[in-house]
């Protein structure tokens, strides 16, 4: 395990992570820090625990939307693929019929 010293919203933390994951963790900290600042700007003066809770809800909302959008895109892509396969099946049947009549 590697230990990484991070700062999140002005508070120092020491976090364990797998070797080689330090850079990824730093990116995550920066991402969360930015989200906390966005939430803090919206809600104004609040306690740190409340800010953390609101930031978690904000991130969960974004994750939920992303999941829904991804699921819908997969469904749309599947429908498109089924339509394309059906179109190709019909084209092959038409070509086969034309060859048979020749």
Query: Where exactly are the structural domains of the chain?
Result: 2-101
3-state secondary structure of 47: coil
3-state secondary structure of 20: coil
Which pLDDT score is estimated for 14? 94
Query: φ, ψ for residue 45 (rounded to 5)?
Result: -70, 120
CA-closest candidate to residue 47, choices 6, 9, 5: 9
Which pLDDT score is estimated for 55? 94
**Per residue of the chain (102 residues), what is the pLDDT tens digit?**
889 999 988 899 999 999 999 999 999 999 999 999 999 999 988 898 899 999 999 999 999 999 998 888 888 888 888 889 999 999 998 888 888 887
Q: How far is CA 52 from CA 14, 17, 33, 38, 47, in A?
A: 17, 21, 10, 12, 9
The structure's pTM equals 0.65
Which pLDDT score is estimated for 54? 94
């Amino acid at each position: 395990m590697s230990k990484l010293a991070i700062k999140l919203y002005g508070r120092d933390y020491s976090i364990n992570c797998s070797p080689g994951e330090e850079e990824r963790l730093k990116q995550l900290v920066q991402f969360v820090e930015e989200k906390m600042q966005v939430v803090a700007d919206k809600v104004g003066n609040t306690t740190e625990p409340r800010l953390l809770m609101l930031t978690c809800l904000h991130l969960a909302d974004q994750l939920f939307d992303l999941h829904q959008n991804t699921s819908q895109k997969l469904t749309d892509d599947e429908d498109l693929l089924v339509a394309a396969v059906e179109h190709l099946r019909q084209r092959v049947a038409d070509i086969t019929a034309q060859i048979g009549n020749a």
